Amino acid sequence: MTLSITIGVLVTGAVFLMLQRGMVRITFGFILLGHAANLVLMSSGGTYLRAQPLLGYTNAEDASDPLPQAFVLTAIVITFSITIYMLTLAATGRDDDTEDVS
């Protein structure tokens, strides 16, 4: 429940920011959206399992699912690199923040 509310709040903020004018705000929106998607991925493994997924240290029944964690790790790297690239795009070229304001 906590997770779904958090995802909802993050997506709301992301959508609000992405509808703003200006590349920097849109980028911030994507950061929030990326976090929301990562939380969806985490929740897909079942958050009630919290123990380390290491055989020999923990019971297999209590161990958390390592696959979504691996997914999230990959996704974080990709989202992070694209976010940086979006920020460079925001800094290159014309400032679009005031472009259409007349």
Partner 1 sequence: MNAALLPLLIALPLGTAAFLVLGRFPRALERTLFLLPSGGLLAVSTVLLWRVRDGTVLAHNVALWPGGVAIPLVVDAFSALMLCATALLILLCSVFAITVGDDHASYFVPLVLVMAAGVAGALMTADLFNMFVFIEVMLLPSYGLLTMLGSRRRIRAGRVYVALNLLTSTIFMAGVALVYGSAGTVNLASLAGAARESAAVAVGVGVVVLALWVKAAVVPVHGWLARTYTGTSVAVTALFSGLHTKVAIYAIYRLYAVAFDGDTRFLWIGVLAFSLTMAIGVLGAVGETTTRSILVFHMISQIGYILLGVALFTELGLMAGIFYLVHNMFVKASLFLSTGAVEHTYGTDSLDRLGGIARREPLLAMVFLVGALSLAGLPPFSGFIAKVTLVAAALEAQQWAAAAIAVVVSVITLMSMMKIWSGAFWGTPPKDEPEDARDEDAGGAGTGTEGGLAVLAPPRVRPILLLPALVLALLTLALGLGGQILLGLSAQAATHLLDPSTYVEAVLR
Indicate the residue among 12 and 74 with the shorter CB distance to partner 1: 74
Site string for partner 1, 48-87 (x = CB under 8 A): -------------------xx--x--xx--xx-xxx-xx-
Q: Is 2 an interacting residue with respect to partner 1 (CB under 8 A)? A: no
Residues listed for the chain: 102
With binding defined as CB under 8 A, does residue 23 bind partner 1?
Answer: yes
With binding defined as CB under 8 A, does residue 37 bind partner 1? yes
CB of 70 to partner 1, least distance (A): 9
Q: Does 17 bind partner 1 (CB under 8 A)?
A: no
